[in-house]
Each structure stands twice: as structure tokens, then as C-alpha cells.
Structure 1
Amino acid sequence: MPTIHAVQGDITEAEVDAVVNAANSAMRGGGGVDGAIHRAGGPAVLRDCVERFPDGLATGDAGWTTAGELPARWVIHTVGPNYAAGQRDRSLLESCYRRSLAVADELGARTLAFPLISAGIYGWPKGDAVACAVETIAATATEVTDVTLVAFDAQTLAMVESELRGAVP
């Protein structure tokens, strides 16, 4: 099990082997974390998305691209369920974390930064999004040694830290 900790900040500045992008299924950039990663990573990220994922990516799946100009080496893109659009199967959200860790293992990445997948514009209830992230990462066998959950604001950071105190010894 990796060490899991939380920080408040900008995931595009994370100095880790790979950052996880909460992508949309088209894999062509978007808003929120997805847009921020594409902007900060530059055109190489989009070029790699187009080349590696010509038909996009399914909800709950994950794949990788270059990180372009980000300090990380790779971006692991995962497509979370859109709760606001009726995709409310928690196993899809859990799959995002498990698949991202599996892709990290394939790459040899040992340090990873995750946003809270689906908790922004996709509308997953934040408390459950936090619980799902912590529970799934803690329960997934992986070679990743260090996971940073990057919270956008102080309230979310407090929620993640509280969940970590309750879930991780």
C-alpha cells in the first residue's frame, strides 16, 4: 500500500513521476483539471492523446501520455463517471483509481498525484468522492510508493485529511 497524503494546490505543479488527469471520454482536453493539465503540459499532451486514443477512452478506464511541459514525466488520464448526467455506479469511480495505479505500475511510476476524480463538474458528492479515493487507493495492490491527493481548496483538503486519519493507520 502506498503512503497517501493530501495537499492543497495546483496538480500541474506536482513534482511526481505521474499526475492523474480527470479526463473526459473524448481525450481532447476540457475544463477543470483536464483543461489545466492540457494548458500547463502544452500541445504535446494533446498530440499524444490524439495519437494514443483516437477513439477516446471508456468511463472507468485509464491510459497514459507524455506530460509535455509539466514537471511530471507522464500524465495518466482516467475518465470518471458523470454523476450529474446519471452515471452513478460507484464501481466506475473505483475503477478510475485502480486502473490509474495499474497504468502507473506498467510505467514504473512510483510517485503519483491524483485530483478527486468526478468531484468537480461531474458532480459526484464530494464526501463520497473523498471516501472512494482513499478507500480504493489504500486497498489496491501497487508498486506505487507515494500518492498525493491534491485538493483544490481548503475545505476539500480538510475532508481528505479527515478521511485519511480515519482510513490509513
Structure 2
Amino acid sequence: MTEFRFPNGVVVELIKGDITTLGTDAVVNAANSYLEHGGGVAGAIVRRGGWEIQEESREWVRRHGPVPVGGIAVTGAGRLRAKYVIHAVGPRCGVDPIEKLDDAVTNSLRKADELNLVSIAFPAISTGIFGCPYEDAAVIMAKAIMREAPKLSSVKRIVICLYDDEAFNVFNRVFNRELKDFRTS
């Protein structure tokens, strides 16, 4: 684990593990615009959390329409240890501008703060089937967090949960470079 601490007390942790097992208030899902959770992180969240997450997601899309790239939707977390799933639609690399990842991270953090949550966990959004390189995603996520963390009031813990060694190593290197002034461990 690598840890960074901002002057307002917000702690950012990079860990290697399974995001579906974390006990954060919110888990961010790397979602598609229609909130159909078949594979990757989305599929794992539904398998662990229960089919009600998929049903709530479909109801959200019926009511509000597809989630735009960079946008978010919130559902309950079913049997996950979290209270909410924040479904963030990241960009498809080669199709959407990768900068939309900044919007997805920013909107997730702001929604968690709006919901008065204390902790939130992110996967490596857009790096799976959406094809974005770890390096690019890590830089965008680190910069968005560095910009938004000082503005947060209720959120005090941001976890970046990477599933494998390669993702963890790249994110760890990038976050150590981008957030070097806040490194604690």
C-alpha cells in the first residue's frame, strides 16, 4: 500500500486487491453508458453484490436515459460492504477523448461528498475493455484527485484499488510522481 495525505486530512491509498471486498462507503464501477454490467469490474460488482445492482441500474437508465461519457449514476450496493455503487462512465480509448476520464473521477468524488460519504474506492477506470493505457489513466486520475481532494468536506479516504501487479506498479509509479508532495509511506 502507498499512502498520500492532503493538508485537509484527505488520505489517498493505492492498494492491490479486489474492489468488491472493500468496506468503503462507495465503490466506483467502471460502467458503460447503458449500465449493463456484464464483464470486468462491472460484472464482478454484480456477481458479488447481487442482481439487484443490475436491476437498479436498468431502472436508472429507463428513467434518465444513458449516462454520458464522464457522467455518473448512483445505485445501492446490494450485498457489497459499501453503501452505494457510483457507476462512472469512462472513455473508450480511440473513440472518446481520454480527458473524459477526468470528468468521471471528478463527478464521482463530488457525488460522494454530496452524499456525505467518508470513503470511496476507484478501480482503474477505462483500462479494461475500454482500452486506455494504464499510464494515461493513472496520470488523469492522479491529477483529478490532486485538484479535487482539497475541496472535499466529508470524503476523507480515497482508495485506488488495482486488481493486478501491472496496474498497481504503473499507478504506483505515476501517483508517486504526481502526488509526491503528499506521500506519507
TM-score tier (shorter): over 0.9
Query: What's 2:77 paired with?
Result: 67
**Cα distance in 1, alignment partners of residues 38 and 116 from structure 2:** 27
Per-residue deviation, 1:91? 2.6
**Cα distance in 1, alignment partners of residues 83 and 173 from structure 2:** 30
| TM-superposition CA deviations, 1:40-99 (whole Å, max 9, x none) | 110221121122221221110012100000011100001111114x21x23311000000
- Whichever residue aligns with residue 86 of structure 2, its letter is I
**Unaligned stretches of 5+ in structure 1?**
none
**Cα distance in 1, alignment partners of residues 113 and 167 from structure 2:** 27
- Whichever residue aligns with residue 9 of structure 1, its letter is G
CA RMSD of aligned residues (A): 1.3
Q: Is 1:148 the counterpart of 2:156 in the alignment? A: no
SS in 2 for 1:148: strand
Q: Is 1:37 the counterpart of 2:37 in the alignment? A: no
Per-residue deviation, 1:167? 2.1
Alignment of 1:88-167 (within 5 A): 89-140=97-148, 141-143=151-153, 144-167=155-178
TM-score (norm 2): 0.86
Per-residue deviation, 1:117? 0.7
**Cα distance in 1, alignment partners of residues 79 and 133 from structure 2:** 32
Q: Does the 8 Å contact 1:24/1:30 carry over to 2?
A: no
- Whichever residue aligns with residue 67 of structure 1, its letter is A
Runs (4+) off by over 4 Å: none
- CA radius of gyration, larger in: 2
TM-score (norm 1): 0.93
